Chain A
Amino acid sequence: MDGENASLAVTLALYVGLPAVVLFVGWLVGHLSETKHERSLAAREEALKDIETTDLRNPPGFAGAEGPCSLVSGEAVVASDTFKTWVFGLKNIVGGESKTFTRLFDRARREALLRMKERARELGCDAVCNVRFDSADIGGNATSGAKKKNSNMAVALVSGTAWRRPAA
């Protein structure tokens, strides 16, 4: 009887306890790093808000501008955690927006955009025009076969042309 209980406890621990611990650790660390990242994003966005960013190809003043002008880019890859992946698994059954993954992609895009703006500032520019967003499939989700791994990550690529606005 005792032996049966013990093996039941071990089975429960393996099949329920372990995934629960992994999920909890994923949620805790993922949530903390996400909050920290978003705080850092907000602070850096504030510091770089005077860099005029647009996806216009020919913004006002661009044609006659002097000074440095160069392609700048930024990229960021942010991983999902076990909790987000699990929550999405549930969402995938019922359908609808996955707020956790929406937030994950938002973080990756803002990070990439900030890195691009930081490079523009390093070049002495105060504007970036013709901004383009792109993505890449590093996780191999669009490929099939044995190499396919169940990894979830948000990939953001941004590029634009950094330039200096003429003095008003």
Chain B
Amino acid sequence: MTIVNTETIPGKTVVAVKGLVQGNTVRAKNIGRDIAAGFKNMVGGELKGYTELLTESRREAMTRMIAQAEALGANAVVNVRFSTSAITSGASEMMAYGTAVVAE
């Protein structure tokens, strides 16, 4: 499965469009990480727990998007976009969407 955020794939041509596919997830870190982040807010520095949260969310949303694309018989997803929304403190919704295509 080729995943790109461009409309074309170099060296390949899109022969069929299978439609819009998307995947989303709302994730949170355990309360320990939230408390640690609160302390980190005193001295500054990277909030590794929240970076991880975003990486995991991105992976999860993409996995769900790819599953949809596979179900449609696509072998690539082009023009992938990510979107996030605010739900509550310490959590984030990540959504990945793109166009499932057959590329040769």
Contacts and interface: CB of A to CB of B under 8 A. Distances in A.
Interface of A: 22, 25-26, 29-30, 33-34, 37, 57-58, 62-67, 69-71, 73, 75-82, 84-85, 104, 111, 129-130, 132, 134-143, 147-149, 151-153, 155, 157, 159-161, 163
Contacts, number: 157
A26 B47 contact: no
Nearest to B40: A79
Contacts of A85: 41
Interface residues of B, number: 42
Contacts of B40: 79
B100 to A, nearest CB: 14
A151 B38 contact: yes
Interface of B: 2-11, 37-38, 40-48, 50-51, 53-55, 58, 62, 80-92, 94
State the main secondary structure of chain B at its contact with A.
mixed
Contacts of B82: 73, 132, 134, 157, 159
Contacts of A26: 42-44
B54 A136 contact: yes
B89 A140 contact: yes
A65 B21 CA distance: 26
A75 to B, nearest CB: 4
A159 to B, nearest CB: 6
